[in-house]
Amino acid sequence: MSKTWDVIIIGGGPAGATAAATLRQSGRSVLVLEKSKFPRFHIGESLLPYNRAIFDELGVWPKIQAAGFMVKRGAQFWMGNGLLHTRLDFSRGSFTEFPESLQVERAKFDDILLRHAESLGAEVQEEALVTEHRIEKDRVTVKFRAKDGTDHEVQAAFLMDASGLGNFTANRENLRDYYPGHKKIAIFGHYSGVQMPAGEEEGDILIIRRENSWFWMIPLENNKTSVGLVLDQADFKALKQDPQQVFDDAVLSTRAVQERMINAQVITQGHVLTDFSYTNRKLVSPRLVRVGDASGFIDPIFSSGVMLAMSSAQQGAHVVHAAIAAGKSLTFAMKRYEWTTRRHVSRFWMFIEKFYTKHFAQLFFHPNNRFRMVCAINCTLAGRTRPSFATWWRLRLFFALVWIQKRYPLAKPIKIR
């Protein structure tokens, strides 16, 4: 493999596939090195409405639509005791331009995206384990081990790291920082026979709030539901139980989950993901751009992962294309990409950080659309990364009320469990 590429991409997940497709649309030669064989199991099945704009721009929407994924029109947030809940209906937000999204099996969804990039002319090497990278003045060099065990060395003008939670290049430079007090563990599986909303609410994701943890329930098909528990690592270790036992005990002690799981049958269970909320201190450097989860990852409570990954990959690919065209290794546009990516993440982080506090829950679970604040929340949690001023000031007002609620109660108390 002696060809010199415009761009080498580490990782073929949603971020890597999006970057590859975007670069091919600009006429760049692209090599994708993916360590797994697709399709492969992956967490993160719930998408946001604003994913649709990226699907259209990539030209992949007809393929996704043909796959028959479950339509998602809203998100429901429940208290663990089942006595209080609220629903965000994406079709009713006055600032939200896309009325619905999808619940997807990631094995099928990710394969569609990667095969689409391949159909546009990207070369994809699966079961290719990247072992080393080197940034030089005029090129990048990447070494990888192919599925037959042979070692290869390839070169390109630029490297894009879309290695996901493996965080390949940033880990080699010790750039990963965890969000303080936010080290979590997720325990999850797929189940049949789960009682999920029907009628107009069919396809809704359910988020069930416990005292210091939460469940997700995501309908993937008519009789297949992804169910996961997210809790602090410290709390998990203190229980001194295996992950599945912790999960099962949490189901039994959470009325809103137990009632829906009473007739559930296991399809697959016991999957565990740890240490998933982090940021990298640098997203760009000469001839290198990090995108998707390799730029950082946040708590999945608002299903922002795929949306943020694809958005950052698309923007990252644009700045890489422009840098190659200008014959530069580092540009102002690349630095601006880093700033805007962090800003997009911070909008979700505001909600994530506060969601675990009782004073936030007291307002969030008693929604009041005065001044159309709920519409602004709806728009943000639907995945709009560039809010209008009308949305921005309403969000600031909402979080000001959250601040006041902590000190001077505005909403009545609620019981978490």
pLDDT for the residue numbered 1: 55
User: What average pLDDT is seen over the chain?
Assistant: 92
Per-residue pLDDT reduced to its tens digit, 133-180: 999 999 999 999 999 999 999 999 999 999 998 899 999 999 998 887
pLDDT for the residue numbered 304: 87
Whole-prediction pTM value?
0.93
Confidence of residue 380 (pLDDT cuts 50, 70, 90): confident
Question: Per CATH, the architecture of 4-69+104-177+279-346 is what?
Answer: 3-Layer(bba) Sandwich (3.50)
Confidence of residue 416 (pLDDT cuts 50, 70, 90): low
C-alpha to C-alpha distance for 314 and 160, rounded to whole angstroms: 11
Q: Is the pLDDT of residue 417 over 70?
A: no
pLDDT for the residue numbered 275: 67
DSSP, res 114 = H
pLDDT for the residue numbered 385: 79
C-alpha to C-alpha distance for 340 and 359, rounded to whole angstroms: 29
Residue closest to 161 by CA, chosen among 22, 57, 306, 312 = 312
Lowest mean pLDDT among 107-116, 225-234, 248-257, 361-370: 361-370
Per-residue pLDDT reduced to its tens digit, 69-84: 999 999 999 999 988 8
Residue closest to 215 by CA, chosen among 333, 82, 21 = 82
Percent of the chain with pLDDT over 70: 98
Q: Is the pLDDT of residue 111 over 60?
A: yes
Lowest mean pLDDT among 104-108, 148-152, 364-368: 364-368
Q: Is the pLDDT of residue 346 over 60?
A: yes
Lowest mean pLDDT among 82-86, 148-152, 190-194, 248-252: 82-86
Both tokens of 118, joined, read 């391949």
Phi/psi zone of residue 40: left (φ > 0), alpha (ψ -120 to 50 degrees), beta? Answer: beta
User: Which residue spans of the chain are classified as CATH 3.50.50.60?
Assistant: 4-69+104-177+279-346
